[in-house]
Amino acid sequence: MLTLRLTPYASATWSWTGASYVTAEETSSVTPYSHPMVEQLAVTDQTRTLLIVRERLASRASATPELRTLTPAAYDQAVEAAERWPADIVMIETESDRPVRITAGAARTTPLYLAHQGGTLHGSWDMASLKSYATGINPREAARLLIYRPRYGCETLFSGITRLTERATAIFGGALHLHYPEPALHSAPRELAPDGDVLAALTESIDLALDLRPLEPAITVFHLTGGFDSGVIATHAAQRWPSQLTTAALLVIGTGREQQARRRTQIRDHLPFGQHDLLIDCAKAAPLHPDCPRVRGELISPYEEPLFLPFSRLASLIADHGAQTLVTGLGGDEMVALSPTESAVVATANDHITDKLPWLGPFARSALVFSEDGIAPPAAVNAITLLSLETTAPPLLRAGIWPIHPFTHPGMINLGEQLPLDWREFKNLQRRQLASLGLSQDVCNPVERESFVWLVEHSLKTYGIPILENALADGSPLFDAGLVDPDVLKSTISEIEHQPYDEEFHAKLLQVIDLHLAATAFL
């Protein structure tokens, strides 16, 4: 939610320009992302200065950004209060002759990447701004990504670029040190009270999540993908704000396409949504198409949407509609996930995520031994959800859209973790909520799989293979670094036309392509 340039040991006297906080002689600057959902404020005790950029909360006037002078005791109270902000927040503390400190909140609606050079720390939500500080590929992180076993942490694909993770503090003054927090604790499942009304608790939790921020229905779009998660949020919101809400989705291709369209129509007809439904047909916006900015060599972070083209077009469509905010269903899977101890199937679910992918290069294989090192401790929001927020935010922010993810609210997470097994398996919580609204069996228990799997297959075969063939002909930083074996990659793609498509195997070539494109653009 901001860009920054901090030079410790230079001026620590700040002022607000109307768009940025800057120091004397502009040795340091902090520029908040300009959006009605974001605000900034600053306090100083004339020795220490605290700059805050944060998500606004509902029912509160926008904070005044001009610096305020406090007593040292009041300054301490201000720091402690900021640490308890319930939405996304970044706190920057500066003091003469001391390192600068940057702390992120737990929500992490938007990412913050950091890099430093020549005594100055640079930061941005858009990794493209830090291109010049990328010095190479981090083999451990590359290996994690290549085998589809991501780990949330401060390491990014690029050496020289660091992620400021949730509740972590970056301390910069000469060197950069990132300090992880204690692990967030999580609840175990509990028994329901005899008269426990789970669906009432769910809708109450959704209301708490929706009411946290100053959401304006007229300029807010709700994802309504056909999936249960966005469906639960959007249908409840439609009941709260009848005839006001615009919906949006990507239309899938493949077996589930007709069912998705039918179910979405049923949902929109049954609940009081607004008249507008913003759709991007993935059949006409396939990932890896030559029109995709990533394919064209633009600086797109490897952590942004793998299906970049359709998602960025949807973001533009939402912006053109006049919306400023998008509500998603991200985090819904994690809310009701079973643990490996609850389900033998879950325990072995990731067996297909193998380090035996034949195209893994020798340096990636050896780096995998250390893949669990240096990762962030458990967060309040599940790491996979946090990474999903990170894929989603930058394309939306470029379009002027602020994302809201109700399933990441602590109330939703706590509710889900404590639910008994039968409420969580098969996403029964979401299914039962939709059924309680009178939605049909077709909506609540769809038969066909609705997924991007066919889109990925089509994109790989049509556009992805040529990209890989070009990489084999022209070279790739991934080959140079020993992370991908070009000979095995070549034989794999030459066989792909003659073998049945294996979505759990061949689909992982998508990551090879995305990392190749990112490494080529950034290095």
* Residues in region 374-433 near another protein by CB under 8 A: 375, 377-379, 382-385, 387-388, 391-392, 410-411, 414-415, 418, 425-427
| Window 173-212: residues binding another protein (CB under 8 A) | 183, 185-188, 190-193, 196-198, 200-202, 204-205, 208
Interface characters, 342-381, with another protein (x: CB under 8 A): -x-xx--xx-xx------------------x--x-xxx--
Output the smallest distance, CB 347 to another protein, in A: 9
Residue whose C-alpha is closest to residue 303's, from 482, 141, 147, 480:
141
Q: What's the rounded Cα separation, in Å, for the pair 167 and 407?
A: 19
User: What are the start-end ranges of the E strands in 421-479?
Assistant: none
| Window 50-69: residues binding another protein (CB under 8 A) | 52, 57, 60-61, 63-64, 68
Do residues 432 and 482 touch, judged by C-beta distance below 8 A? Answer: no
String of DSSP letters for 380-439: SS-HHHHHHHHHHHHHHHHTT-EEE-GGGSHHHHHHHHHS-HHHHGGGHHHHHHHHHTT-
Nearer to another protein, 364 or 510 (CB): 510
Asked if 334 touches another protein (CB under 8 A), the answer is yes
Nearer to another protein, 293 or 410 (CB): 410
Q: Applying CB under 8 A, which part among 158-166, 238-246, 360-368, 449-457 lies near another protein?
A: 449-457
Output the smallest distance, CB 476 to another protein, in A: 20
Nearer to another protein, 390 or 485 (CB): 390
Nearer to another protein, 55 or 485 (CB): 55
**Count of residues engaged in binding another protein, rule: CB under 8 A:** 106
* Residues in Cβ contact with 73 at an 8 Å cutoff, skipping those fewer than 6 apart: none
Nearer to another protein, 150 or 173 (CB): 150
Asked if 508 touches another protein (CB under 8 A), the answer is yes
Q: Applying CB under 8 A, which part among 6-14, 159-167, 469-477, 508-516 lies near another protein?
A: 508-516
String of DSSP letters for 464-501: IHHHHHHHHHH--HHHHTTSB-HHHHHHHHHHTTTS--
Asked if 109 touches another protein (CB under 8 A), the answer is no
Q: What's the rounded Cα separation, in Å, for the pair 69 and 98?
A: 20
Q: Which of 26, 281, 320, 504 binds another protein (CB under 8 A)?
A: 504
Distance of CA 100 to the CA centre of its chain: 26
Structure tokens at 137: 């590929």
Q: What's the rounded Cα separation, in Å, for the pair 246 and 327?
A: 11
